[in-house]
Amino acid sequence: MSAPLERTIAALREALGEDRVRVGEQIGERSMTDWTGHAPARAAALVVPRSTEEVSRTLAICNEARQSVVPQGGMTGLAGGAIASPGDIALSLERLAGVEEIDAASATMTVLAGTTLQAAQEAASAAGFELTLDLGARGSCQIGGNLATNAGGNRVIQSGTAREQVLGIEAVLASGAVLSSMNKMMKNNTGYDLKQLFIGSEGTLGVITRAVLRLYPPRAERHTALVALDGYDAVVALLRTLSARFGNDIGAFEIMWPDFFDFGVSLTQAARSPFAAAHPLYALIEHAGFDADDNGERFAAVLAEALESRAVRDAVVAQSVADARALWRIRECTAEFPARLDPINFDVSLPIGAIGRFVDECRAALDARWPSNRSYYFGHIGDSNLHVTVDGHSVPGVAHHDVYAFVYDLVVPYRGSVSAEHGIGLLKREFLPLSRSVEEIAAMTAIKRALDPNGILNPGKVV
Ligand SMILES: Cc1cc2nc3c(=O)[nH]c(=O)nc-3n(C[C@H](O)[C@H](O)[C@H](O)COP(=O)(O)OP(=O)(O)OC[C@H]3O[C@@H](n4cnc5c(N)ncnc54)[C@H](O)[C@@H]3O)c2cc1C
């Protein structure tokens, strides 16, 4: 370890106390890489602050020493954004956790950044509200990480991405200055909306320490159905029918292509498809309105009409919470990908109408390039988001980078985006120019320089 780095760590210990600064074996494996498992490394030190003030002191000391700092949340990110290298200081928000206030009149929650999404959801629910942000990593990911990545998740079609849930933010700048924009109001047009800078900035512009989140009245019971369809045109037609009939009472519209569906089914307890036959496409749909007396009858009736008119091939409607969970388990098999595959993951965005064509083209192109490849496709189609996973085990000897470059090149002609929700982080940085113009990247770089002139915050990520 270099002498300046040793001096910085000593200064951090002195300012924060010994127990806030971990080194060597005190830094657990959890802090060494994110969910991608990419390039695990132990940072020079892991700082675990318990207050905004401690975050501020940490950054001021590191800024003075020109020392790089990598903010870490729940380490569930899928772009390598939270991975620190041996020359970095990692800053974990795990101890800055808790719900500070639920304001029932404003329908807001004030929450510390290290709070897990699940804990925040449970607190909202206990107060008679709903926090609509939801994703499979809810038990581990943190609010700060959700905002830093502008997480999407299962209910974007209903209430938008993380960005749409935020009214206020407190963030600490690289200099240590605390920028408090803890606004609770729906309307506030007093100049630039600074909080938006930090949402989706992946720890490169500031460390998020607190947020004011929007809460909603709880929806009545969710009704879940699995539907089999003829092809992609039928998917789009069904999405439009459901939107016209139910507006944003449709809480999830998840499309699974057969390879993905079969893989998901093989991991369920029954290991059997809910359908007697195989089908070209499957949709997992959730309806959640506000009318407690409806009991899902309108939703079931619309699906019955669709069956009768052959707009859908088959449908299974969950009759209990356990049934619904079993259906979701098929779709949430992605949590098992790291254990069972060598996943090369894509979370691309494409115009909704083009996604079916893209999947056919992508599959054909991968088959032509690497005939042994196995690839899996599912998407939050209502949000124009497609996930592709290529199993690296099926293309032995091929570098992940080559697969990334190959698939992203296919996205470009569609004017799609290389990241719909996971962010750019480390893994997609070189591909950013495929989705953003030279002028856009220049503007991002200028913002980065203005807020972090010494480039200490998460260097090498995003821009
Ligand atoms: C099973 C599973 C399912 C998932 N499903 C979805 C999904 O549906 N939709 C989706 O969008 N994502 C999904 N993800 C990805 C991941 O959960 C999200 O990106 C999540 O928002 C990351 O939160 P985290 O706390 O784990 O952040 P981390 O992984 O720790 O960090 C992610 C990035 O945010 C930065 N960061 C973290 N905390 C802060 C902070 N307080 N201030 C500033 N920067 C910070 C880090 O530096 C890094 O760049 C999934 C992941 C898994 C493992």
Residue at 8 is within a domain = yes
The verdict on 42 and 119 lying in the same domain is: no
Residue 22: strand pairing partners: 46
Q: Which of 55, 79, 95 corresponds to the end of one domain?
A: 95
Residue at 456 is within a domain = no
133 ligand 1 Cβ < 6 A: no
Q: What CATH number does the domain containing 228 carry?
A: 3.30.70.2190
Q: Which of 141, 253, 333 to mutate to test the pocket of ligand 1 (most atoms within 8 A of CB)?
A: 141
Contact 47, 92 (CB under 8 A): yes
Q: What CATH number does the domain containing 15 carry?
A: 3.30.43.10
Copy the structure tokens of residue 232. 């992609």
Residue nearest to atom 19 of ligand 1 (CA): 77
* Model pLDDT, residue 335: 87
Residue at 20 is within a domain = yes
The verdict on 228 and 270 lying in the same domain is: yes
* Model pLDDT for residues 85-119, shown as the tens digit of each residue: 999 999 999 999 999 999 999 999 999 999 999 99
The closest of 342, 405, 406 to 374, measured between CA atoms, is 342
142 ligand 1 Cβ < 6 A: yes
pLDDT exceeding 70 applies to what percent of the chain?
A: 100
Atom of ligand 1 nearest to the CA of 153: 8
* Model pLDDT, residue 354: 97
145 ligand 1 Cβ < 6 A: yes
Q: With the C-alpha atoms ordered 299, 301, 304, 308, is the resulting torsion angle positive or negative?
A: negative
Average pLDDT over residues 5-12: 97
Residue 310 contacts by C-beta under 8 Å, 6 or more apart in sequence? Answer: none
200 ligand 1 Cβ < 6 A: no
The verdict on 112 and 173 lying in the same domain is: yes
Q: Which of 149, 422, 463 to mutate to test the pocket of ligand 1 (most atoms within 8 A of CB)?
A: 149
Q: How many CA atoms lie within 13 A of 382 on its CB side?
A: 28
169 ligand 1 Cβ < 6 A: no
Residue 317 contacts by C-beta under 8 Å, 6 or more apart in sequence? Answer: 223, 224, 225, 296, 299, 300, 303
The verdict on 318 and 369 lying in the same domain is: no
Copy the structure tokens of residue 351. 């115009």
The verdict on 253 and 189 lying in the same domain is: no
The closest of 112, 75, 92, 82 to 22, measured between CA atoms, is 92
Q: How many CA atoms lie within 13 A of 156 on its CB side?
A: 19
Q: What CATH number does the domain containing 365 carry?
A: 3.30.70.2740
Report in angstroms the alpha-carbon separations of 201 from 144, 205, 462: 11, 6, 8
CA 161 to centroid of ligand 1, rounded, Å: 13
Residue at 452 is within a domain = no
Residue at 178 is within a domain = yes
Copy the structure tokens of residue 246. 């139910």
The verdict on 328 and 401 lying in the same domain is: no
The verdict on 87 and 144 lying in the same domain is: no
Whether residue 295 is predicted with pLDDT greater than 90 in this model: the reply is no
* Model pLDDT, residue 430: 94
Residue nearest to atom 27 of ligand 1 (CA): 145
460 ligand 1 Cβ < 6 A: no
254 ligand 1 Cβ < 6 A: no
The verdict on 195 and 256 lying in the same domain is: no
Residue at 68 is within a domain = yes
The verdict on 328 and 404 lying in the same domain is: no
Rounded distance between C-alpha atoms, residue 21 and residue 17, angstroms: 7
Angle (nearest 5°) at CA 433 between 371 and 426: 75
The verdict on 90 and 7 lying in the same domain is: yes
Contact 138, 120 (CB under 8 A): no
pLDDT exceeding 90 applies to what percent of the chain?
A: 93
Atom of ligand 1 nearest to the CA of 142: 25
The verdict on 319 and 407 lying in the same domain is: no
Q: What CATH number does the domain containing 204 carry?
A: 3.30.465.10
Polymer length of the chain: 463
3-class secondary structure, 227: strand
Residue at 459 is within a domain = no
Rounded distance between C-alpha atoms, residue 279 and residue 209, angstroms: 47
CA 10 to centroid of ligand 1, rounded, Å: 30
**What DSSP designation does 397 have?**
T
Give how far the C-alpha of residue 410 lies from the chain's centroid of Cα atoms, to the nearest Å: 23
* Model pLDDT for residues 10-68, shown as the tens digit of each residue: 999 999 999 999 999 999 999 999 998 899 999 999 999 999 999 999 999 999 999 99
Residue 60 contacts by C-beta under 8 Å, 6 or more apart in sequence? Answer: 175, 176
CA 135 to centroid of ligand 1, rounded, Å: 10
Full domain range(s) for residue 17: 3-95
Atom of ligand 1 nearest to the CA of 152: 11
Q: Where are the alpha helices (DSSP H) in 141-284?
A: 143-148, 156-159, 195-198, 232-246, 258-266
148 ligand 1 Cβ < 6 A: yes
Q: Which of 95, 113, 134 corresponds to the end of one domain?
A: 95
Q: Which of 180, 214, 248 corresponds to the end of one domain?
A: 214
21 ligand 1 Cβ < 6 A: no
CA 80 to centroid of ligand 1, rounded, Å: 10
* Model pLDDT for residues 53-77, shown as the tens digit of each residue: 999 999 999 999 999 999 999 999 9
Structural domains in the chain (count): 4
* Model pLDDT, residue 245: 95
Residue at 152 is within a domain = yes
The closest of 168, 295, 134 to 220, measured between CA atoms, is 295
Atom of ligand 1 nearest to the CA of 462: 49
* Model pLDDT for residues 216-231, shown as the tens digit of each residue: 999 988 899 999 999 9
Residue 136 pLDDT grade (very low, low, confident, very high; cuts 50, 70, 90)? confident
CA gyration radius, the chain: 23
The verdict on 112 and 201 lying in the same domain is: yes
Rounded distance between C-alpha atoms, residue 400 and residue 19, angstroms: 39
